[in-house]
Amino acid sequence: MKQATTIEISLKSVLLVIATLLLLFVAWKVRGVLIAFFVAYILMSGFAPLVDWLTKNGVSKTLAVVLTYVLAIGFLAVLLFSVIPPLVEQIREFITKLPIYVDWVTNNFNSWWLTNFNSSTVPGVTSENVANILSSKLDTALSNLLTVVKNVFSVFVSFVTIAVFTFYLLLERERIKKNIFRVLPHLPREKVTSLAHKIEDKLGAWIRGEAILMLAVGLATYVGLTILQVDFALPLAVIAGLLEIIPMFGPTVAAIPAVIIAFVQSPILAIAVVALYILVQQLENNFLVPKIMEKAVGLSPLVTIFALGVGGTIFGVVGAAMAVPAAAIIQVVFEDYLEDHQ
């Protein structure tokens, strides 16, 4: 006769499960704020060495944070004012030349169809049809202008929120690290503080390395496209630099518009652009990344791809961009756990 097994579930366990589920639900509802806080924490980690250096040289903590902000905003302003005017001009030129590109694509597609299918009728592909499609899309875009304005305002609010979070995190970071053990009372205070320092160092190295990579890739791409005389070199270089924040997939996506624009100019030029992007990527992978990022992050390619997939699936482009630093934090915690149990 089998003995019956009794499983007792205490009220405390039930309440703990309910509280955990409720906490996860609330976290999902306010995920935008949590992402902004995470981005601010990464930026804080990147700015922290400069604040520490100023503080060690006799500058008060508040003034050191303000000076760091002034330097960061000044650098960003110089970068924007040097890039935005020619960027706007090249975008305006692209819009002006858009009908020419449409006609070129349409005519070449018609020729390809006639050559391969011996038919004088190309189903639904004429410059008039393409123009009508573009016109209808433009009408739709104009009708959704309110949505666009709303999205721009939302981005601005997010930017301000991240800036405020970063400022106060820089001011309070030492106090936070000293008191974070209260969130994990079952761990020794020194252990929690040490782990917080390791995470901050890792994220700081990542954001500074990523900034260097983005500038280097954007500049190299701009110089190469300018030498090749590819139209809209500056916007394409900006795209290449920004997408550098998404490893592995970002550079490939950035190359697509450049190759298309070059192909419209000349098929041979398109081949040269492909070679340029491959060259920039090889220089990055073989020289820049080993020197800058491997020591900073040290994630294996498999872990990086997995993190990108998970982050991109849950949070889209923002999740993909934040996937690597999130995986780096998990790696720091895991390595620290292994050290304690060896």
pLDDT value at residue 223 = 92
- The pLDDT confidence band at residue 221, using thresholds 50, 70 and 90, is very high
Give the CB-side neighbour count of residue 288, counting CA atoms within 13 A.
Answer: 19
Is there a contact between 197 and 52 (Cβ–Cβ < 8 Å)? no
Question: Would you state the structure tokens that stand for residue 224, as one six-digit string?
Answer: 């190469």
Identity of residue 70: V
- The per-residue pLDDT for range 141-195, each reduced to its tens digit, is 445 555 655 665 676 777 888 888 888 888 888 787 777 766 666 667 777 777 8
pLDDT at 130 over 70: no
- The per-residue pLDDT for range 321-334, each reduced to its tens digit, is 788 888 888 888 88
Is there a contact between 196 and 48 (Cβ–Cβ < 8 Å)? no
Question: Would you state the structure tokens that stand for residue 165, as one six-digit string?
Answer: 């979070």
Q: Is the pTM of this model over 0.75?
A: no
Give which of 206, 229, 284, 228 is closest to 252, Cα–Cα.
284
Task: Say which residues have a Cβ less than 8 Å from residue 315's Cβ, sequence separation at least 6.
Answer: 31, 35, 322
- The pLDDT confidence band at residue 114, using thresholds 50, 70 and 90, is low
- The per-residue pLDDT for range 226-267, each reduced to its tens digit, is 999 888 888 888 888 888 887 767 788 888 888 888 887 888
DSSP string, 250-273: HHHHHHHHHHHHHHHH-HHHHHHH
- The per-residue pLDDT for range 11-46, each reduced to its tens digit, is 667 777 788 888 888 878 877 788 888 888 888 888
